[in-house]
Each structure stands twice: as structure tokens, then as C-alpha cells.
Amino acid sequence: MRRHRPAVEGKRRLAAVLLLVLLLGVPRAGMAQDISAEPQFATLVADTMFIDGPSLLVAEGNVEALFGTTRLRARRIRYDRSSEQIAIDGPLVLYDGSDVLILADQAELSQDFERGLIRSARVVFDEQLQIAAGSVERLGPRFTEMTNVVASSCEICADRPTPLWEIRARRVVHDDAEQQVYFEGAQFRLFGLPVAYIPRLRVPDPRLERATGFLGPRFTLDTGHGVGLRTPYFIVLGTNRDLTLTPFIATQGTRAQEFRYRQAFATGMLELGGLVARDSIRPGTTRGMAYAEGQFALGRGYALSFNLIQPTDRQVLEDYGRAEPRLTSDITIERIRRDERIRLQLLQFRSLRLGDVNATLPNQVGQAVIERRFDMPGLGGVSTVRLEAHTHRRRQATGIALPPPLPGMGPGPRPGAVGRLSLDLDWRRDAVLPGGVLGALGVHMGLDHVRLSETGGAFPTQQTRLTPNLMGELRWPLVRGADASGATHLIEPVAQVIWSRDRVIGLPQETSRMPELDEGNLFTYDRFAGRDAREAGLRANLGVSWTRHDPDGWSSTLTLGRILRTRDLGQFSVDTPLAGRNSHWLVSGSFDTVDGLTLSNRSLFTSDMRLERTAFELDWTTERYAISTSYLRIRSNPFEDRAASASEWSFDGERQIDDQWSARVGWRYDLAQQRAARASLGLNYENECLRVSMEVERQFASATSPTPQTSLGLNIDILGIGGNPSRARRACGAL
């Protein structure tokens, strides 16, 4: 029988809050208390609140209760102090921390909200995975048991009541400490149709980023393996270690096992992986590959990195979707500071091209570099000191002559091993001259000592070379302010004169076999990539650039340049753009807009304006699509091991069709041989709970593979379950 029912409004809510604090927060007499623990208090606000009897508190209308990190909103709450139970009439919303949300019609809970029964409930984990249950029983702060369950991360609306995927189960237990969800008698459905029955199923809740279990499978169809299935299994070995095992089974007899081990350390990371396979491509042969990658801090600014890879044969990587024309393994110790660079590196190159013989290639390389920059006392300007030690060797000496023999380069067999020690001393000082002209003076000295073995008498066994250079440079930047259209212009002519001795010492070129002429090396001392060759003679590097900035946000650049020499020393192959007394004309330009469109081109013309080499690239990126296309044309050059002229066109594009669908297409076409090199077509679908990716790719015969291959890939990812977050949800009424 009710004794009193006062209305609580406005300022009287404070009295209700204090009243519940006294009822719930004050410890009972005779109960053992931990005096070191801070007491937790419940807070209650409501439109109406009254006391019914000696131990019953009733709150009605817009009720909110808080206890620790738990927050409850309901229509009506009844708290019985004698039984320490709370009866809640819904609709109710229970926030368990910031990641778990429970919606229900009715509940009976303990005063700390950690135990009790919730009826007709829906549990939402991290705004992704939803579980609808006939009843939810909280068994404590760790476990929650649910019955008659339907689980999905798909949005369910009146016009689409059936989710794309769902899991129906007789019983579900959620372990909050381990962040795992256990299903009993689970039935997996797609589009409302049962596709699998699993007696016991465990999945991580969306808050857990790393958990042991199966990852999304990948279905493939290709000419080498037939229909195949990859099912990665992820194993958590600790907070800083994991292992992924990926068995691969295909209909044409392929049985493969891929693995990847990762471990994080306080000073770096390590990754080990590989593949072991038996297939019908090479019957009766065990094939595979292994790799190791790592990065570690060694102290005092030094860092160790390594990338090692070793396949059993040339085609195993391409047969298993990891095609590379050349593999590079390296171990590097490096320190980079503001004015210093130190690097020690061991490298091994392995060519996968069918015509290459790795035993005769200089594929074992070791090098050390120390480089420091400092201000020159007395003279001013900046000086650089660079010391480099380099060695490389081939397992088998070759008698093939250098093609074609260059004057002073010594035709004959390539040496079996080369060792070189190089010292570079450089000084440069810039100054502003009258009229806004920028001037610079520079001195460069290169000293090389080279030792050779197994030369067949074509080269001396050791050679010392001194290459001095004197440089003078003038730049005259001319700026024009905004014209009638509001655009600004910058024109900058540059003239750089370099003197060096007219002496070319015949040494084998191994690291400088592909000298280029572009905007990056037009104004440099030489165009050789390595120190095994140095550019000589008196020469002038000339160029002019024009840049335009438009007020609408787009800009364009144009560069024109050329190298003039007093004598042709024959230090460059006749088929390169640097050969002769005068180099080819370099013409390059670019165009950029605020809409994401970028155009760039670099071309080389002969003196009679015949196009020799060109590279064109277009990139256009917007919110709905992305396009990237390029065209390349380059003449043959035996000295660069390019037996035939190359001409190629490539295209890659992606289009966002709507919020869920996107498509992509790509191809590479060899215009010189008039045949396709690669073609691919892909289609993606993704909503808030499912991601499907399909791709068809055709790889035509190439330098690394004599036979064409066609592959079809299909990936299906269930979103909203641990470590695989779903997309932002769309309201049911949104278009």
C-alpha cells in the first residue's frame, strides 16, 4: 500500500538523486568493506519518483540511471532494497561502457546491472554486430547468455527485412573479458537461405582486432591450377606475435601451404614467410619460396633492415601470384642525420627473365658509403665529402664482349670480380649578382681505385683514376606579376659550364650501363649512375624553364635543355641520348589542376627534331573515378641490353558506380610487337556488412613466362566481426 507519492520536478530532481545515492551507495552495516577501494555510487534522475513501503523506490518517466560505466534509460524503474533487485519496464536502453548497447522491452537486474534477465533484447557490439535474442541473461561482469538468437551486421529495414547474411543459433554466450562470441547450434544463411550448419561456432566481437581463427577465403580459377581455394588461418601467439597458415588446394592437383610469421619487438619488427607446393605445372617436384623481412633500431641513430627472398625456380612466384622480373635481397645498416649519411649494404640480384643466366650476372654486391656535408670555413659555401667502397662479383666469368665496344671501354670478357674505392670532394658557393642573377661556383674532385680479376687480359688488374671538375653557373629568374587573367609567370634560363680533362680510362661498366637525360640530372657533373664511369671533357649544360600559376588553381611547367661539348670523347653509346658532341634536346612539361588532373611528358629529340624517346602519363582522380594511363617509346640500344625498340601503352581505371558497386579495368599493350601484355577486369560490391571482390586477369607470354595465363579471383569478406570493421551505416530511408 502506497504511503506517499510526491511529484518531483525541476529542482526536486536533485533530492531524488541524493535519495538514491543514500539507498544504493551507503554500505550496509555488518558487510565487510575494502577500505582501500573507492565506493561506487548509482545516480538516478526521473520525471516522477516515490517510495512505496520500507524498501521500494519507484521512478517513472524519462528515467536515467548510472552505475560506474553502465548507463540505463527506461520508462519505469522499481528498486527493491531488500532483494537488491531492479525491475525495469521498457522500452529500455542499456549502455555497457562505450562499445556494447542493449535494447529491450523488460529486464530484471541486480543493483550494479551486472546480473539479471533481459527479455526481447537486441545487443549491438561497437555499432556493428547486432544480436537479436528472445532473452538475455547477464551472469556477471564477464558472461552474457542469449537464447533464440539471430546475429548479423547488416542493416534491416521494413523494405528489406532479410539481411544479406545472418547467423541463427539456439544459444549464444558472450565472453566480455576475451571479447569472444560462442554460438551453439549455429546456422549460417545468405539471402535468407541456409548454406551451412555448424554445431559450435566462435567469432570475435567487433572490438577485438586480433583473434585466432579463419580469415576470409579466396576462390581462384586459372589455367595453371584450375579451381582453387585459399583459407587463411590466423593464430595469435601473443600480444606481439602471430602466425598465418594458408592452405591452397586446386582441382588440377595443386597442394600448397603458405605461411607468414610476424613478431614485434621493442626496437623493430620481423616477418618470415614462404610457400611449399606440389602441383601439376612441374609434376613430381616440390616447389616453393622463402622470405624474411625486418627492421630494427640499433642505437645511436643506426637502423638495420633486411629483405631476403629465395625461390626454388624462375616461375614459382608467377605461378602463385607473386610475379617479379627481378628479385633483390639486401641487408642494410644505415644512419641518416641532417648533414650525414652512413650506409653499409649487402645485395643479391636474381633475374627471373628466361634469357638471363644468373651465374654470369654481377648479382652479388657489397657497398659502404660515408657522406658528410659541412660549411666551408674561410671560403664560404657548402662542401661535401663522400667515401664509397664497392665490390661485386659473378659466380662464372663470361667471354661475351661488351656490346657494342665503346672507344676506351675495352672490348672483351666481363671480369669475374670488381672492387672499387671512390672518394668525392665537392664544394659549391651560391651568390646573388647584380640584376637579380644567381651565380654559383663549384669544384669537384673524384678519385677512384679499381681492382679487377678474371679479365682475360682485356683490362688491367688495377687502375687509379683522378677526375677534376670546375663549374660555373648562372641563373636568371624572371617573374612577371599577374596579367589581365590574374596569372603569374616565372621564366628561368640556366647556363652551367663544367671543365674536366679530355681523358677516358677504359674500365668495364657494370653499374652505369643505362645513362639517362632528364630534368633531374641536366645540371649535374655527370650522367653516370655509378662511379665505374665518370663524364669527361669541357661541356655546357643549358636549359630554360617556364612556370605559369593560374588564379583558378591550375599550373603548368615547360622545360627545354641540352648539353653541348667541345669534343666527342666516345664515352656514351651512339644509341643513347647523350652520345656525340651535342646531346639530344630534352623537352618536358606538366599540367596540374585542382580537380585532380595531372599531365606530364618527357621527350628527347635529335638535332633534326626526330623523336627518339618519349614518356607520357595522365592521372585523373575524383570522388567517383580514377584514371591512370601512360605511353612509353624508346629505341633499341645493345649497350643497354635492349635488343629491340620498345613502345608500350598502359591503362588503369576505377569507377565508383554507386554507394555499393565499383568497377576497375586495366591493360598493358606492347605497340612495338602489336600484342597485349596484360588485361584485367574487376568488380567490387560493399555495403555495411559484406564485401565481394571479383577479378579476371590475363597475363600474356612475357620475358619471365613463356606461356600465357588466365586467372579469376573471388573474395568474400564478412564485415562487422573482429578486425574487419563495417562501413558507416546508411539510414533505412536514405537513397
Task: Name the residue with higher pLDDT: 709 or 188.
Answer: 188
pLDDT given for residue 397 in this prediction: 67
Q: What is the mean pLDDT of the chain?
A: 85
pLDDT given for residue 410 in this prediction: 42
pLDDT given for residue 42 in this prediction: 65
User: How many helices, marked H, and strands, marked E, lie in the chain?
Assistant: 2, 41
pLDDT given for residue 636 in this prediction: 81
Q: Are 303 and 295 in contact (CB under 8 A)?
A: yes
Whole-angstrom distance, CA of residue 394 vs CA of residue 214: 45
pLDDT over 70 (residue 594): yes
Mean pLDDT for the stretch of residues 198-213: 84
pLDDT given for residue 399 in this prediction: 58
Mean pLDDT for the stretch of residues 710-723: 81
pLDDT over 60 (residue 458): yes
Helix (H, G, I), strand (E, B) or coil at 610: coil
Report the half-sphere exposure of 420 (CA within 13 A, side-chain side). Answer: 25
Percentage, residues of the chain above pLDDT 70: 89
pLDDT-wise least confident of 101-110, 611-620, 646-655: 101-110
Whole-angstrom distance, CA of residue 577 vs CA of residue 607: 11
CATH match of 1-28+39-113 with 3.40.50.300: no
First to last CA, the chain: 55
pLDDT given for residue 41 in this prediction: 47
Report residue 268's pLDDT band, with 50, 70 and 90 as the boundaries.
very high
Task: Name the residue with higher pLDDT: 365 or 140.
Answer: 365
pLDDT tens per residue across span 352-410: 887 778 888 888 999 999 999 999 998 899 999 999 999 999 887 665 544 444 444 44
Whole-angstrom distance, CA of residue 379 vs CA of residue 374: 12
pLDDT over 80 (residue 25): no
pLDDT tens per residue across span 433-452: 998 999 999 999 999 999 98
pLDDT tens per residue across span 484-513: 778 999 999 999 999 999 988 877 777 877
Mean pLDDT for the stretch of residues 617-630: 94
pLDDT given for residue 18 in this prediction: 41
pLDDT over 80 (residue 713): yes
Structural element, H or E, at residue 365: strand 364-375
Report residue 273's pLDDT band, with 50, 70 and 90 as the boundaries.
very high
pLDDT given for residue 209 in this prediction: 77
pLDDT given for residue 15 in this prediction: 42
pLDDT given for residue 204 in this prediction: 83
Task: Give a three-class secondary structure readout of 193-248.
Answer: EEEEEEEEEEEECCCCCCCCEECCCEEEEECCCEEEEECCEEEEEECCEEEEEEEE
pLDDT over 50 (residue 7): no
Residue 116, C-beta contacts closer than 8 angstroms, at least 6 positions apart: 85, 86, 107, 108, 109, 110, 137, 138
Percentage, residues of the chain above pLDDT 90: 44
Grid coordinates in use for 420?
672499387
Q: Are 294 and 303 in contact (CB under 8 A)?
A: no
Mean pLDDT for the stretch of residues 462-469: 93
Q: Percent helix, strand and coil across the chain, each rounded to 5?
A: 5, 60, 40
Full-model pTM = 0.79
pLDDT over 60 (residue 26): no
pLDDT given for residue 28 in this prediction: 38
Structural element, H or E, at residue 319: helix 316-319
Which of 317-326, 507-516, 658-667, 691-700 has maximum average pLDDT? 658-667
The full DSSP string for 588-609 is EEEEE-TTSEEEEEEEEE-TT-
284 φ/ψ angles, rounded to the nearest 5 degrees: 75, 10
DSSP 48: E
Mean pLDDT for the stretch of residues 304-333: 89
Q: Are 248 and 228 in contact (CB under 8 A)?
A: yes
pLDDT given for residue 728 in this prediction: 55
pLDDT-wise least confident of 79-88, 156-165, 560-569: 156-165
Max Cα-Cα span within the chain: 118
Virtual CA dihedral for 334, 338, 340, 343, nearest 10 degrees?
10
Mean pLDDT for the stretch of residues 322-327: 80
Nearest CA-CA partner of 420 in 462, 361, 472, 473: 462
pLDDT tens per residue across span 210-264: 888 888 888 888 888 999 999 999 999 999 999 999 999 999 999 999 999 999 9
Structural element, H or E, at residue 14: helix 12-20
Question: In a 10 Å sphere around its CB, with 0-12 CB exposed, 13-18 middle and 19+ buried, how is residue 286 labelled?
Answer: exposed
pLDDT-wise least confident of 45-59, 233-247, 265-279: 45-59
